[in-house]
Amino acid sequence: MFDRSARDRRSQTPRNIGRLLPIALMTTLVLGGIGVSAAWAQPVRVDGSGDVSTGDGPTAPCEDGIVRDDGSAETAWGWVPTVVDGRYVQEFALDEMPSNNMDRFCVCWRRTNTDTEIDFEVHFYRHERFIDEDDGTVVWVPELEPYAVVPAHGSNITDEVAGTWVEVDLGGVEPPIGPYFSVGVKWDPSQENSFFVCGDTTVETPRSNVWFIDDRASGWTSVLNTIDPIFNVHRAFMMRLVPGPQLPAAIEVPGPDVKGLLILALAIGLVAAWVVRRL
């Protein structure tokens, strides 16, 4: 357990569950249509049965960036429509960033209703360092508030398992100082309901750390430590980050100190006196 006595608001221990956990509707694909089974009392997710559609190829952008998924979606995660602020962010390590800025972000969306457009935000979070009181290990948890936000919009979102990739221009957001940071999406499921972030469940894909929080939770929860069974199949969220070209560091030109100003004034005075004598 983390010690929260020094601050009023701390991030939750990754082992705790928020008061409202993320959900999606369990969907079974059948011949001739899609059957939907909803379990509102517990978190569930959007799934597909049978052959899995692939997101490989030109429909899968950001392949030149940091990619956690294998390019194909087998599931998707979202929120119940009573949530007004739902967020999923994927963790990245600073040593994965070959440059000092971020160029593009790609996220795969899927829908289960007739609305094909979604407004969302790309969020960037610094991580705070905590000591786990149970075993003394160091845990890095996202801060509660993002240090950067980029508004975004997705259109023509499909209801197929493969989902639809949306590419967002980040405009060179800088990564924070620290070993870890997280980037992901925030949206309002009460307005943009039945939208879900695609997920990779292929067992060969290494598990990535994803954090989630909603407006009724007091802190972040990690999918790697939650006891919520819907994340047992999680391997990676289909969210990709592309670093931009290395930008030159700003060069600070130091101004003269007090001593330097005195010497400069004396030199100007001597030159002026010499000029006067020559006149």
Instruction: Mean pLDDT check: name the lowest of 109-123, 160-174, 257-271.
Output: 257-271
Q: Categorize the per-residue pLDDT at 46 as very low, low, confident or very high, splitting at 50, 70 and 90.
A: low
Q: Is the pLDDT of residue 250 over 90?
A: no
Burial of 160 (0-12, 13-18, 19+ CB in 10 A): middle
pLDDT, tens digit (0-9, with 9 covering 90-100), for 92-108: 999 999 999 999 999 99
Q: Is the pLDDT of residue 35 over 80?
A: no
- Read off the amino acid at residue 127: H
pLDDT, tens digit (0-9, with 9 covering 90-100), for 196-224: 999 999 999 999 999 999 998 989 999 99
Calculate mean pLDDT across residues 157-161: 93
If one compares 81 and 33, the residue with the highest pLDDT of the two is 81
Instruction: Mean pLDDT check: name the lowest of 124-138, 174-188, 213-227, 263-277.
Output: 263-277
Q: Categorize the per-residue pLDDT at 32 as very low, low, confident or very high, splitting at 50, 70 and 90.
A: very low
Instruction: Mean pLDDT check: name the lowest of 10-24, 47-61, 222-236.
Output: 10-24
Q: What is the mean pLDDT of the chain?
A: 78
What pLDDT is recorded for position 111? 94
